[in-house]
Amino acid sequence: MHGNLFEGPIGLSLSPLRGLKVLDLSQNNLSGEIPEFLAGFKFLQNLNLSHNNFESMIPTEGIFKNASATSVFGNNKLCGGIPEFQLPTCVSKKTKQNRSTLPLKLVIAIDCGLLVLTLALSSLFCRLMCMKKRGNPTPSISIDLDFPYVSYEALYSATKGFSSENLIGAGNFASVYKGILFEGAPAVAIKVFNFLHHDASKSFTVECEVMRNIIHRKIIKVVTACSRVDYQGNDFKALVYEFMPNGSLEEWIHPITEEDKRHKAPGNLNSLERLNIAIDVASALEYLHLGCKPPIAHCDIKPSNILLNDEMTACVADFGIARFLEATNEQTSSIGVKGTTGYIAPGIYIIFLYL
């Protein structure tokens, strides 16, 4: 029932269907409160209510206890629920009535005060988290992501069933597809991990952990993530990144298709663009090595992992074999060297040589 024109509240006619395992009502115009009877569906394994107009409090029992199995993003009037949903606290009707009796200026003043307090507490929380990370320089690997989840069905639809015409790249551990999550949204790059490769699961876990710990304008940004099962019941994991319309530096240096030879030939990169790309990559590595706590080694800096946006700004991508470095001499050790032959660190010199 995904992507139709259903509207109004979810009716009681669904309440007898207690044997459902998957229920997808996403991208409709449904409204009202999420009915409590859905929490009683004991066999329900996947519930997708995203991109509707639901409001009020989310139930906290049944499947609603599992944020990875329940998708509710895109409903801006929802509140409450378990903390993993990261929704605002619900305000009771009595509180709303009391607020409506206050003068407008007083309400604005109170709200501004609450905003300032929230920002102050958020800043304090971030400081505490940074201190915690400094005290534990080798964080454990976990797939308890900070990213919002998206359903498998949404990614399947966005890529037209992961069709070859949407395929924009492939590697040992994953394939990358171009897609649009919903109408009017910008294009995204969907990295789908290939579990036929025995190291794909580890690569997904490492990349998630790294992306949770970094944020920099010269490093590719994560939009959302998916860790579900596909239509055949197999494990499915994907990361969704911002789409980089000018492709990779590899395509500019070694164009393969006739179209790339016309538009992305090496001679089309002028001296300023070459210098800016090198500076962008150096800026990202400087942040990873000196600005992160603990430092992070990318381990595979090469032209195919340098992506270019519509303004030819370079961003470092693909952290599947990256590693957190302890405060030891691991940076200079040759034990367990990882990466593509010919591009092993210090990879920035390779980029400079190519440019």
Residue with tokens 């010269």: 218
Beta strand 7-8 with 29-33 is parallel
Token pair for residue 307? 């992506």
Contacts of 49 (CB under 8 A, 6+ apart): 25, 26, 30, 34, 70, 71, 72, 75
Contacts of 158 (CB under 8 A, 6+ apart): 179, 180, 181, 188, 190
Provide the edge-to-edge strand list for the sheet that holds 7-8. Answer: 7-8, 29-33, 53-58, 77-80
Q: Which of 230, 214, 78 is nearest to 155 (CA)?
A: 230
Token pair for residue 186? 């910008």
Is position 24 annotated as part of the catalytic site?
no
Beta strand 77-80 with 174-179 is unpaired
**Which is the catalytic residue, given 24, 280, 300, 318?**
300
> Could you give the residue numbers annotated as active site?
300
